[in-house]
Chains A and B, each alone.
Chain A
Amino acid sequence: MKIAIRNGRLIDSKHGLDHNADLFIADGKVAGIGQTPAGFSADRSIDAAGCIVCPGLIDLGARLNSIEAELAAAVAGGVTSVVVPPDLDPPLDEPELADRLVHRAADIGLARVLPLGALTIGLKGERLAELAGLAKAGCVAFSQANRQVVDTEALLRALEYAATFGFAVWLQPQDYWLSRNGIAHDGEVASRLGLAGIPVSAETVAIATFLQLARETGVHLHLTRLSSAAGMKQVERAQAEGQRVTCDVGIHHLHLTENDIGFFNSQARFDPPLRAQSDRSALAAAAAAGTAAICSDHTPVGADDKLLPFGEAKPGATGLEVLLPLTLKWARESQVGLADALARLTADPAAILGIDAGHLGVGAHADVCIFDPLADWRPTAETLVSKGKNTPFLGLELQGRVRLTLAKGRVVFDGERRGH
């Protein structure tokens, strides 16, 4: 199958491309840009006039409760590679489980699944999982999802063991003791509403520990879902000192704050919690500077688990399909150029993962996202493909919508066929 994508504005942050050009795809790979490759004759020609043509997005964190539906949601959101945290049921702590997940995703054939293996058995923070075996089965790094290794010695050993094999470890910094009873940012809103607080120190204490242990062991540490200005400053300082540490932020944390809880709106319950305006600004600035990559932190939650008092409702929001429009919104508000903004969803996550993806170089897998940056739409129960309809943006107008997604040169999502 040979595909020509014509008349689009091609943006490839890694190669510094941002101009109107045709993209040629053959045998699942990028065959050429601009000039028609010799002997190329398109089986299908796609008119991308008025659209951006960019590498398929790489999402550094999405929970796929129902893998088929959620992978369909991924490609509807332009995402062609999805990092899946290990907090599945059962947790991803055995090579066979990882193997099954990767193959199941390959059979479905939409987006590629990149699982994070459990760092410890059952994510209990006690015994090491078989990291090498898990890596062989396709795990790209190791993680505790949003759970903590309470025993600091066990954490040190886990980092040492991961470093032995050169595996990266992804940790969500949240001190267990300081966060276990909390349900909202320990700030003005929680004080007013009588919600148990999670202080910023829950994050900074954990980051300090993680950075220290990572420095000792030399492991590549990736910090997930940062939520505070103070935490981001720690990462910036460590990077400035030359430590190999990367981080990401959830897209909702670039837009929302504790104030969005309003009168106990459970759609604004997140883990880590939405924090103060100054935190949100710092995260947005860090993403603008390239310190942090951006991810969806996609967490589908059923209506029954959200229609509960705030503290009993499950945290998280559906994210795969709002990731791109909300990133565009952040870019407009933070005055970040389109190419730079898309880097946070393509080249930067690829670099964190150390994978050859997120660019459109000749010979690369043809994972492509074609979107109309000016198309307005509203996420609703009907328009969202994901089974998770839980979003604080439900019914609100967003700008930027995916028209077509290709994975390895195959059209895996076509907006023309959208029911709505």
Chain B
Amino acid sequence: MYNPQLNSNGELTHLLSIEGLPRDVIVHILDTAASFMEVSAREVKKVPLLRGKSVFNLFFENSTRTRTTFEIAAKRLSADVINLDIGRSSTAKGETLLDTIDNLCAMHANLFVVRHASSGAPYLIAEHLTRVNRDIHVVNAGDGRHAHPTQGLLDMYTIRHYKQDFSNLRVAIVGDILHSRVARSDIHALTTLGVPEVRAIGPQTLLPGHLDKLGVHVYHDMAQGLKDCDVVIMLRLQNERMTGALLPSAGEYFRHFGLTPEKLALAKPDAIVLHPGPMNRGVEIHSAVADGPHAVILPQVTFGIAVRMAVMSIVAGN
């Protein structure tokens, strides 16, 4: 199948989704990120790989945290960073998404980091840039429910850091998978990297159909789903999902699908717990777990900078 992320030489030119990325490309990103970990520990936290290049953070949907990590990563690569919180302002003025892109192209951008509420928006932008023959790269910073590939990659970096090898792991993803771009990116990354058993745990209202086609085993019971897992990836439950037709209440959700020390004890003794943040303590995760010895949630954030440096230097570097 045609893959708009790779150029004719099979090199990564945009990062839009982990789906369809060859294993070698993912491993190369993780290895490159490892080499950048040392940069972040230095007194002068900079390498000149993107010197003279302009990185535009295009956040059509607000996310201070994700935008900041991209900004830090770009600055550590010596790029010029322009933050545009577009929100709904441009579209409210009647400008279409591609009008906005054309305008920014004229400002000589080299890389767009795109966050958008609609699944597939970064694909539309990448295709448009090809059509108008602009050599600008696109990194997806989260599109609708579809993908959040740098989050997926930083989760893989974290798992590799603690577990070294993917080929003997049992990984559970817990919570609102239906609405989660993180879950979709994690699933593709885990299966591509050869994880033999990926599980999804949640109530039927929060799990999309056809997960088996993605190579995922579905559980509706935490005790069964967590049993003997090496890695537990918790997902954030959005406020608007907590009451209504999907779930009766945050309390009932926590009782059945919240990660408590008791439930975590069913996983392997050396299991690690990931969360993409921001956490809802007492909704999807108990504080004793979030702050406990199994949690690797803060290291995820640190690794995230290195992974985003790796992605940007690979797509936009020379």
Distance in Å from the Cβ of B188 to the closest Cβ of chain A?
9
A300, B1: Cα distance in complex, Å: 29
A309 touches B118 (CB 8 A): yes
- Give A189's nearest chain B residue, CB to CB: B210
- Which B residues are in CB contact (< 8 Å) with A196? 145
Q: Using a Cβ–Cβ cut-off of 8 Å, how many residues does chain A contribute to the interface with B?
A: 22
B124 touches A188 (CB 8 A): no
Known: A191-B209, A194-B144, A197-B209. A309 touches B124 (CB 8 A): yes
- Which B residues are in CB contact (< 8 Å) with A266? 124
- Which B residues are in CB contact (< 8 Å) with A262? 1-2
A263 touches B4 (CB 8 A): yes
Contact of B213 among A191, A193, A307, A310 (CB under 8 A): A191
User: Is A311 located at the chain interface by the 8 A CB criterion?
Assistant: yes
- Which A residues are in CB contact (< 8 Å) with B1? 262
Known: A304-B96, A308-B96. A191 touches B214 (CB 8 A): yes
User: Is B82 located at the chain interface by the 8 A CB criterion?
Assistant: no
A307 touches B96 (CB 8 A): yes
B184 touches A309 (CB 8 A): no
User: Is B181 located at the chain interface by the 8 A CB criterion?
Assistant: yes
Distance in Å from the Cβ of A183 to the closest Cβ of chain B?
9
User: Is A195 located at the chain interface by the 8 A CB criterion?
Assistant: yes
Distance in Å from the Cβ of B20 to the closest Cβ of chain A?
9
Distance in Å from the Cβ of B124 to the closest Cβ of chain A?
6
User: Is A182 located at the chain interface by the 8 A CB criterion?
Assistant: no
- Give A276's nearest chain B residue, CB to CB: B210
Known: A304-B96, A308-B97, A309-B118. A264 touches B124 (CB 8 A): yes
Q: Scoring A residues 296 to 329 as 1 if CB is less than 8 Å from chain B, else 0, what string do you get?
A: 0000000010011111100000000000000000
Query: Which A residues between 79 and 134 are near B, CB-CB below 8 angstroms?
Result: none
- Give A186's nearest chain B residue, CB to CB: B209
Most chain B CB atoms below 10 A, which of A188, A194, A309, A310:
A194
A164, B123: Cα distance in complex, Å: 53
Q: Using a Cβ–Cβ cut-off of 8 Å, how many residues does chain B contribute to the interface with A?
A: 29
A188 touches B213 (CB 8 A): yes
User: Is B119 located at the chain interface by the 8 A CB criterion?
Assistant: yes
B210 touches A264 (CB 8 A): no
User: Is B121 located at the chain interface by the 8 A CB criterion?
Assistant: yes
User: Is B19 located at the chain interface by the 8 A CB criterion?
Assistant: yes
A312, B146: Cα distance in complex, Å: 14
The number of A-B residue pairs with CB atoms under 8 Å apart is 75
User: Is A192 located at the chain interface by the 8 A CB criterion?
Assistant: yes
A191 touches B4 (CB 8 A): no
Most chain A CB atoms below 10 A, which of B19, B120, B208:
B120
Distance in Å from the Cβ of B185 to the closest Cβ of chain A?
10
- Which B residues are in CB contact (< 8 Å) with A373? none
A190, B120: Cα distance in complex, Å: 11
Distance in Å from the Cβ of B141 to the closest Cβ of chain A?
15
User: Is B98 located at the chain interface by the 8 A CB criterion?
Assistant: yes
Most chain A CB atoms below 10 A, which of B19, B181, B208:
B208
A165, B210: Cα distance in complex, Å: 47
User: Is A187 located at the chain interface by the 8 A CB criterion?
Assistant: yes
Contact of B98 among A187, A194, A307 (CB under 8 A): A307
Known: A192-B19, A195-B145. A310 touches B120 (CB 8 A): yes
User: Is B105 located at the chain interface by the 8 A CB criterion?
Assistant: no
Distance in Å from the Cβ of B212 to the closest Cβ of chain A?
10
- Which A residues are in CB contact (< 8 Å) with B97? 308-309
- Which A residues are in CB contact (< 8 Å) with B19? 192
User: Is B211 located at the chain interface by the 8 A CB criterion?
Assistant: yes
A194 touches B209 (CB 8 A): no
Most chain A CB atoms below 10 A, which of B1, B146, B211:
B146
A147, B47: Cα distance in complex, Å: 58
Most chain A CB atoms below 10 A, which of B97, B147, B209:
B209
- Give B17's nearest chain A residue, CB to CB: A263
Distance in Å from the Cβ of A182 to the closest Cβ of chain B?
12
- Give A188's nearest chain B residue, CB to CB: B210
B147 touches A194 (CB 8 A): yes
A264, B128: Cα distance in complex, Å: 13
A238, B104: Cα distance in complex, Å: 57
Contact of A264 among B96, B120, B145, B214 (CB under 8 A): B120
A307, B100: Cα distance in complex, Å: 13
A263 touches B211 (CB 8 A): no
Most chain B CB atoms below 10 A, which of A193, A195, A304:
A193
- Which A residues are in CB contact (< 8 Å) with B308? none
A/B interface sample: 6 pairs, CB < 8 A: A187-B209, A192-B184, A307-B96, A308-B97, A309-B97, A309-B120
Known: A188-B210, A190-B208, A192-B213; 6 extra A-B contacts, CB below 8 A, are A193-B120, A195-B145, A263-B4, A264-B119, A307-B98, A307-B128
In the A-B complex, the 9 residue pairs with the smallest Cβ-Cβ separation, listed nearest first, are A264-B120, A194-B145, A309-B118, A194-B146, A191-B208, A309-B121, A188-B210, A194-B119, A191-B210
